[in-house]
Amino acid sequence: MRLLKSHPFLKLVNSYLIDGSQPSNLNFAWNFGSLLLVCLVIQIVTGVTLAMHINPSIAEAFNSVEHIMRDVNNGWLIRYFHSNTASAFFFLVYLHIGRGIYYGSYQKPRTITWVIGTIILIAMMATGFLGYVLPLYAVNLFATVITNLLSAIPWIGGDFVEFIIKIFSVNNATLNRFFALHFVLPFILVALVLMHLIGLHDTGGSSNPMGVSGNFARLPMGPYFLFKDLITLFIFIWVLSLFVYFMPNVLGDSENYIPANPMQTPAAIVPEWYLLPFYAILRSIPNKLLGVIAMFAAILAILSLPYFDLSRTRGFQFKPASKVFFFVLVANFILLMALGAKHVESPFVEIGMVSTFVYFAYYSISIPSISLIENTLLAIVQNVNKHLVALFNSPLPFQGYSQQNKFGANIIVYLFIKAIELDNFKNKFMAKYVFFSFLYILISSIFIYYFGDNFVFALNTSDEVGIVDNTIPGVICPVCRDNGVETIVIRGRDCPICKTPMD
C-alpha cells in the first residue's frame, strides 16, 4: 500500500482506481464505463492479432478472412470476438450516452467530459466503418456510397473523394488506407479515453444519481465499486460468449459470405446495425448536401445538450415531462434504426422524415422548452409556498379583509404574479416574459374556473391570519361563527361547511 502511494505511476493509478471518491448511491447504470474499457481492450488485442493475418487487397482481402477462419489456430474465435465485441461496444456506448442524458451528466462541471465523450463516439463510428469495409464483402461496396458523400463538400469534395479511393470504386489503395486508419484509430481512442477519465477525475468524479452536488456521502473506488464493476463484467462476458459461441452472425448480414463484385450491385447495401439510425437520417433528406449535413448534425446534436438544457436541477429523475420526452427520444432512435435497414420506398421514406424531425426537435425544441417550463413550475411552487406561509402567519387580523370588494380569484392571481419576480426571470431575453405571461394567464384562468368556487379559508377563532396587500375578499359565515369557526366565503357563494348562501 505504501508503494501505491509513493511510486509516481502507481500513485496515479491509485488515485483513479482505489482512492478516487464516488457518490455512495451510484447504481448499476454507472457500470457501463468499466464495461466499455473492457470492450476497448478486447478490440485492441483481437484487432492486432487479426492484423497479422489479413491482406488488405482486392484480390486477397476476402480470402485472407477465410484463411483466418479456417487455418489460423482459434482464428474463428478471435474474429467472432472482434466482430461481436464491436456490436457490444456500440450497444454499451448508446446505453452510456442515454444514462448521461437521463441523469444530466452533461451539465456543469462535467461539460468537458461530455465533449470528449462525443469525440470518442465519432472516432468509434469512423473506426467501425473502416473495419466493416476491410474484408471486402458484397455489402462492403457501401464504402463507395459513404465516401462519395464527401463529394457534397463545396469546391473540394470531388478531389477529396478521388484522393481517398483513387478511382470510381474501392480498390487496393482504398483498402490499404482504410486498413492503416482502422489500425491507428483504436490507439487514438485510447488517448481520448484517458482524456475522458482525466476530465472526469478533475471535475469531482461521477455525478450523483439524485442530481445533487457536493462531497458528502462518498466512498472510495476500491473495493466496493471495483467489486460492483466485476459483477457486471462477469454478466457481460457471459452474454458476449453466448453470441460468440452460439450465434456469432446474428448481428451481421448474410451478404457477408459473398465476395464483393463491382460489376454487380447487391440486393441491399446496409451498414452495421449501430450505424443504421444515422444512415436513416441521411436517406430521409432528398438533397445530398443537406442529407450529409443532417447525418453529421445528428451525431453532434448531443453536444448541444449542455447549452440547450436550461434546467436548474440536474437529471430527469424528478421531472415527469422530461422523462416522457426522453423515452420518446429512445423509441424514435430505435425506429430510425429499423428504418435504416429498410429499402428506400414508401412508407419508410415518409416515416423516416417524421422521425428525423422528432430527433432534431428533441434537442432544439423539447429540451429548452421543457426545462424552462419546469423551472417556471418549480418557481411557482416555491413562491406559492412562500406566500401561503406569509398568508397564514401574518399578525394582521383576518376580519379586516371581509369588506374588500375584490374578485374571488385575486389571491390566486397575486400568487402567480409574485412568482414572476424570481431571479430566474431576470436578465433574460424578452420572449420569455411574453411566453410565460401568457402561460401564467392560462394557468390562472384554468385554476380560477375549476377551483374558484371552493376557494375558502377555515380556521379557529383563536387564529390570526392576513396578507400584506389586503386583497382577500369575502364575508364571515354567521352560522359557522356561532359554532366557533370563522369561515371566509366568497360573496355570492354557499358556505362549503354549512351550505349557507352568502349574498
In a domain, 122, yes or no: yes
Q: What is the mean pLDDT of residues 288-311?
A: 91
User: 380 in a domain, yes or no?
Assistant: no
29 shares its domain with 154: yes
Is position 7 within any domain?
no
Tell me if 220 is assigned to some domain.
Answer: yes
CATH at residue 240:
1.20.810.10
Q: Are residues 78 and 173 in the same domain?
A: yes
Same domain, 77 and 124: yes
Task: Based on the fold, state whether residues 405 and 349 are members of the same structural domain.
Answer: no
Q: Are residues 164 and 83 in the same domain?
A: yes
Least confident of 66-75, 340-349, 424-433: 424-433
**Nearest-angstrom CA–CA distance, 259 and 31:** 40
**pLDDT band for position 500 (50/70/90)?**
confident
Residues 64-73 have a mean pLDDT of: 93
In a domain, 18, yes or no: yes
For residues 82 and 445, what is the distance between their CA atoms, to the nearest angstrom?
Answer: 62
Domain that holds residue 483: 394-489
For range 161-187, the mean pLDDT: 81
Q: Which sequence positions are flagged as catalytic?
A: 201, 206, 228-229, 272
Among the candidates 347, 375, 403, a domain finishes at 375
Across 245-249, 265-269, 308-312, 483-487, which has the greatest mean pLDDT?
Answer: 245-249
pLDDT in tens, 198-220: 999 888 788 888 888 766 678 88
Q: Which of 252, 297, 294 shows the shortest CA–CA distance to 274?
A: 252
Q: Which pLDDT value is given to residue 305?
A: 93
Average pLDDT over the chain, rounded to an integer? 79
Higher-confidence residue of 174 and 386: namely: 174
Matching residue, cell 471486402 = 136
Looking at residue 167, its pLDDT comes to: 60
d(CA 477, CA 488): 6
pLDDT number for residue 2: 73
CA distances from 228 to 24, 74, 90, 263, 438 (A): 12, 32, 22, 53, 50
Q: What is the DSSP letter of 314?
A: S
Whether residue 457 is predicted with pLDDT greater than 60 in this model: the reply is no
Whether residue 266 is contained in a domain is answered as: no
Predicted local distance difference test score (pLDDT) of residue 462: 33
pTM of the model: 0.76
Please tell me the predicted confidence (pLDDT) of residue 142.
Answer: 60
Residue 445 has pLDDT above 60, yes or no: no
CATH code, domain carrying 296? 1.10.287
- Pairwise pLDDT comparison (300 vs 466), residue with the higher score: 300
Give me the pLDDT at residue 415, please. Answer: 47
Q: Which of 254, 283, 316 is the last residue of a domain?
A: 254
Q: What is the mean pLDDT of residues 462-475?
A: 40
The reply to whether 49 and 17 lie within a common domain is: yes
Position 97 scores a pLDDT of 97
Higher pLDDT, 28 or 481: 28
Q: Which of 6-20, 106-120, 438-452 has the highest mean pLDDT?
A: 106-120
Position 435 confidence tier, pLDDT thresholds 50, 70, 90:
low
Contact 68, 79 (CB under 8 A): yes
The pLDDT-based confidence of 423 (bands split at 50, 70, 90) is very low
Average pLDDT over residues 70-75: 94
Provide the angle, in degrees to the nearest 10, between the axes of the packed helices 32-51 and 75-102: 150
Give the number of domains in the chain: 3
